[in-house]
Amino acid sequence: MYTIDFTKPIHVHFIGIGGISMSGLAEILLTEGFTVSGSDAKKSKLTSHLESLGATVHYPQLASNITDDIDLVVYTAAIHPDNPEYKYVREKGVPVLTRAQLLGQMMKNYSMPIAVSGTHGKTTTTSLASHVLMAAGCDPTISVGGILPSIHGNIRVGNSGVFITEACEYTNSFLSFFPKISLILNVDADHLDFFKDIDDIRHSFHEFAKLLPSDGTLIIDADTPNYETIANGLDCEVITYGLKNKDGDYTASDITFDKIGHPTFTCSYHGEKIGTFSLLIPGTHNVSNALATIALARKLDIDVETIKEGFKTFMGTDRRFQYKGKVNGVTVIDDYAHHPTEITATLKSAVNYPHKETWCVFQPHTYTRTKALLDDFARALTLADKVILVDIYAAREKNTLGISSRDLQKKIQALGTECYYFPSFKEVESFCLDKCHPDDMLITMGAGDVVKIGETLITM
């Protein structure tokens, strides 16, 4: 494994430097004095930003971009073996790291690396915790998987030993990390194109927890089914929290919501009240995310009042129950939810937001996930009053399973909920303009490009 040492900067080349995570890591290295180059298919805001910081970015990806002065090449899972740069690098024997391996190596350069994992809620919790860390004057380096308005992007380079990042389980990426504190927010069946089943996923999270040193800390949601199998056998400190499991170290009670669904709750530690907290993000699931953040903050000796101040400054990240605007009196919301558990949480959150009917425009994400969780998707989507489906967003896959959005439509209709399917965004937009009424809520939902529908509607 190639070692990254911030005191010995080298020339690092990123294949696919324009990705949100890759660009963030490149920015950190640039700030630490590394020479950074990279390539991507086309110019973007992210690549332009890196160029303004001193990176050299090539368009498109060609073998000639790999120059003799490059010491290390970083690539993502999206790069195929026939990629001209990757192929040339392998032929030349240039050292390589995956994106996850680079992130893990970078974590070694911080005295307090924090990894936020879980099937759902990583971006929101990392962002919420980041606001608390900034309120406490910790001056953290932050790497988040979405756009966080307060840091004007997905990366913040601090000047302390505190580093907080998301830790994704897909392809076991997080097993390349070296955290001092790890958060496990939940463990659910997902990414079944890689994992065999839920037991396989639990095993990976257990292996992730085992990466913690003996003086490290695991913070884990006690509401997670069989969470003990993940925490068992660890020689580090284990802190638990839970909404349902009142045996957790941190618990919440007296949960209430304001007129637009923002929760206030009482947090207790070992049964003793430590404070009343309010959030500016909706949903009971975010109370759980807040408990994880409170546990982390108190572990870092951040006082309750500072935690509250951090909560007051966080109004969410892009694509997490994000208000987009209005069209003909209809409130348009966008959300990244693409798993049944996430859909359930989002649609339950919507109940507390003032409106008449809930319309959900859902774009399934990947054929394998849709096929494996078809019944669960159908049940979750029936929480909306009316559902509109568009075609499955393929992402990295090809449809070898014979699954389509029409299969999901039939399941939803069989459960008694109105459900429509349209093959084009333009048809969805026309239908919504015709059928949605003033004071209705329209939620565009999914991890693909379904957000464009709402953005188009509010300009009409």
Residues labelled as active-site residues: 122-123, 166
The CA-CA-CA angle for residues 201, 207, 210, to 5°, reads: 145
* Strand, helix or coil for residue 144: strand
Distance, in Å, from the CA atom of 298 to the CA atom of 185, rounded to the nearest integer, reads 17
| Structural tokens at position 99 | 């994106």
**CB of 335 closer than 8 Å to CB of 445:** yes
Alpha-carbon distance of 174 to 107, in angstroms, equals 12
Instruction: Find out whether 119 is annotated in a ligand binding site.
Output: yes
Question: How many whole angstroms from its chain centre is CA 185?
Answer: 12
Which residue, chain included where needed, has tokens 């949960």? 255
Q: How far is residue 163's CA from residue 106's CA, in Å, rounded to a whole number?
A: 9
Which strands make up the sheet holding 72-75, listed edge to edge?
56-58, 35-39, 11-15, 72-75, 96-98
Cα distance between residue 65 and residue 32, in whole Å = 23
Q: What are the φ and ψ backbone dihedral angles of 329, each rounded to 5 degrees?
A: 85, 0
269: amino acid identity, one letter = Y
**Residue 182 to residue 239: CA distance in whole angstroms:** 10
- Is 121 part of any known ligand binding site? yes
Residue 399 tokens read as 């449809």
**456 in a labelled binding site:** no
- Structure tokens belonging to residue 105: 């190596």
Residue 270 marked as a ligand binder: no
Residue 308 counted as an annotated binding residue: no
**Residue 209 neighbours by CB under 8 Å, 6+ apart:** 182, 184, 218, 220, 230, 231, 234
- Count CA atoms closer than 13 A to 329's CA, side-chain side: 10
Between the CA atoms of 277, 281, 287 and 291, what dihedral angle is there, to the nearest 10 degrees?
-70
- 94 close to 72: Cβ distance less than 8 angstroms: yes
Nearest 5 degrees, angle CA 168-CA 452-CA 145?
A: 20
CA distance 109 to 4: 8
- Give the residue ranges of the annotated binding site for ATP: 118-124
- Give the residue ranges of the annotated binding site: 118-124
